[in-house]
Amino acid sequence: MAILPHLGADAAKLHAEFRQGEAWDSPHNIALAARMPAVFRSLANDPTRPLTPFQVFVGPGTAFDSPAGVPLADFSDGLADTALVAEAGRPVPWTKPHDLAVTADEHVGFEATGGFIDLTVWLGFGDGTVGYATAVMQSGGFEIATPAQNALRAVLTRNGKEKLGRRDLLQETTSVRRVLAPAVVPAGGPPR
């Protein structure tokens, strides 16, 4: 929700209509959910339902480990090697505060239902690029393929000083393409 004012005038107007002091599913706020901006949609999901599979990574050392936001100066690994968002699999109401929790060992599981296309996991990075990593089926969910697990752990942190990065995780560097200008990330860091 906090990113809406940075997605253009219509999204900023929609953001102003939400009652921030009420729950995401209050009668007033849930009525606004039907006006989901297209940027939250996935090609793999029903376009008539206000659901999104895109969720941000939260937890210690991630871009979103503080409700107040994280200054850009704290991204010492670089924005290009810091994953902010993933196509998580199970779509949720786009207004619901539901994120991908990263545990102390930096484990992330992707649920088995929903938005995967050809067993790939799409990731969005702090510099505005996206790319995909191969996923494999595990009991009850998907995981990033074993050779890339260490690289996934590396891109989940913004300042872990790991030697691995996006180039070690993604299947093809040519699949990475610029989709958002870095200016979408406000000067104080990613919105929360």
Domain that holds residue 46: 40-180
Confidence (pLDDT) at 58: 86
pLDDT at 151 over 60: yes
Same domain, 12 and 104: no
What is the rounded (10 degree) CA torsion for 147, 55, 112, 36? -140
The 10s digit of each residue's pLDDT in 11-38 is 999 999 999 999 999 999 999 999 999 8
Same domain, 65 and 15: no
The 10s digit of each residue's pLDDT in 122-141 is 788 888 888 877 665 555 55
What is the rounded (10 degree) CA torsion for 155, 158, 163, 165? 30
Same domain, 22 and 59: no
| Section 30-54 average pLDDT | 88
Q: Read off the pTM.
A: 0.74
Same domain, 27 and 48: no
The 10s digit of each residue's pLDDT in 177-189 is 333 333 344 445 4
Give me the residues paired with residue 87 across strands.
54
Exposed e or buried b per residue across 150-167, where buried means at least 16 C-beta atoms within 10 angstroms of its C-beta:
ebbbbbbbbebebebbbe
Joined together, the tokens standing for residue 110 give 């992707």
Could you give the percent of the chain with pLDDT greater than 70?
A: 70
pLDDT at 115 over 90: no
Asked if residue 185 is part of any domain, the answer here is no
Domain count, the chain: 2
Higher pLDDT, 48 or 35: 35
Kindly give, in sequence order, each residue whose CB lies less than 8 Å from that of residue 145, ignoring residues fewer than 6 positions away.
133, 134, 135, 136
Asked if residue 190 is part of any domain, the answer here is no
